[in-house]
DNA sequence: GCCAACGTTGGC
DNA sequence: GCCAACGTTGGC
């Protein structure tokens, strides 16, 4: 899951109550579908800092809820308000995410690009802007190895 | 700041 | 249903 640290960083996640947040504001159907259809409680999450210095996987988190409607779509004062969404017919779903570990040494995008085993990782594919992307078990393990952290 | 890639909108 | 125009993302 990508986040711009100016908007919401891994440190922000760490400072949330119970180190848990609602992953609000996703307004892309494909990304929504991953949360709605693919993410299950207990799934691991790589927390990636986009539009940042450095660009890096900053740590890991875990999915701790089923998907449910993103409340911000109903809030006229929210940047994420969607006038076409109704309580009966919500458009946008989210999951709750809880911090697992902030990496002592973030895994830099540059390092990922230089790692042959991660050549197929969606994150570094050209034009891959999706804010929520699937990660394979091999990629998950490799990122942990590069971070010097045992995968859970 | 630039711009390529991608997604969405809306007229037809 | 097509597609041009526009807006956004996000690395560089």
Q: Write out pLDDT tens, residues A132-141.
A: 999 999 999 9
For residue A122, being part of any structural domain is answered with yes
Reported confidence tier of residue A87, pLDDT bands at 50, 70, 90: confident
Structural domain contains residue A92: yes
Instruction: Give, as ranges, the nucleotides of chain C with any atom within 7 Å of a protein CB.
Output: 8-12
Q: What is the CATH number of the domain that holds A18?
A: 3.10.590.10
The reply to whether A152 falls in a domain is: no
Is the pLDDT at A10 greater than 90? The verdict is yes
pLDDT-based confidence at A63, cuts 50/70/90?
very high
When pLDDT is cut at 50, 70 and 90, the band that residue A122 belongs to is: very high
| Residue at minimum CA to C1' distance from nucleotide B4 | A127
> Per the domain annotation, does A41 fall within a domain?
yes
Domain count of the fold of chain A: 1
* Strand ranges (E), A8-152: 20-22, 44-49, 56-63, 68-69, 93-94, 96-108
| Cα A76 to Cα A86: distance, rounded to the nearest angstrom | 12
Q: Which residues in window 85-124 of A are less than 7 A from strand C by Cβ? A: 109, 113
Q: What is the pLDDT of residue A136?
A: 96
DSSP state of A77: T
In a domain, A151, yes or no: no
d(CA A113, CA A98): 27
Question: Is residue A130 domain-resident?
Answer: yes
pLDDT at A89: 87
The parent domain of residue A36 ranges over: 2-146
> Collapsing DSSP states into helix, strand and coil, what is residue A139?
helix
Does the nearest atom of strand B lie within 7 Å of A15's Cβ?
no
For A88-119, the pLDDT digits (tens) are: 889 999 999 999 999 999 999 999 999 999 99
Tens of pLDDT, residue by residue over A24-62, are 999 999 999 999 999 999 999 999 999 999 999 999 999
Instruction: Evaluate whether residue A33 is within a structural domain.
Output: yes
Among chain A residues 78-107, those with CB within 7 Å of any atom of strand B:
none
Nucleotide C8's nearest residue (CA vs C1') is: A129
Predicted pLDDT at A86 = 87
């Amino acid at each position: 899951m990508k986040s711009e640290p100016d908007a919401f960083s891994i440190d922000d996640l760490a400072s949330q109550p119970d180190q848990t947040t609602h992953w609000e504001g996703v307004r892309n159907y494909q990304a929504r579908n991953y949360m709605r259809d693919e993410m299950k409680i207990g799934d691991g999450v790589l927390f990636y800092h986009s539009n940042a210095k450095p660009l890096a996987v900053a740590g890991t988190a875990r999915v701790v809820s089923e998907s449910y409607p993103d409340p911000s779509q109903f809030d006229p004062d929210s940047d994420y308000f969607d006038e076409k969404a109704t309580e009966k017919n919500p458009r946008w779903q989210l999951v709750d995410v809880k911090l697992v570990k902030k990496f002592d040494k973030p895994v830099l995008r540059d390092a990922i690009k230089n790692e042959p085993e991660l050549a197929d990782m969606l994150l570094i594919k050209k034009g891959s802007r999706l804010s929520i992307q699937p990660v394979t078990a091999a990629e998950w393990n490799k990122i942990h190895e590069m971070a010097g952290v045992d995968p859970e």
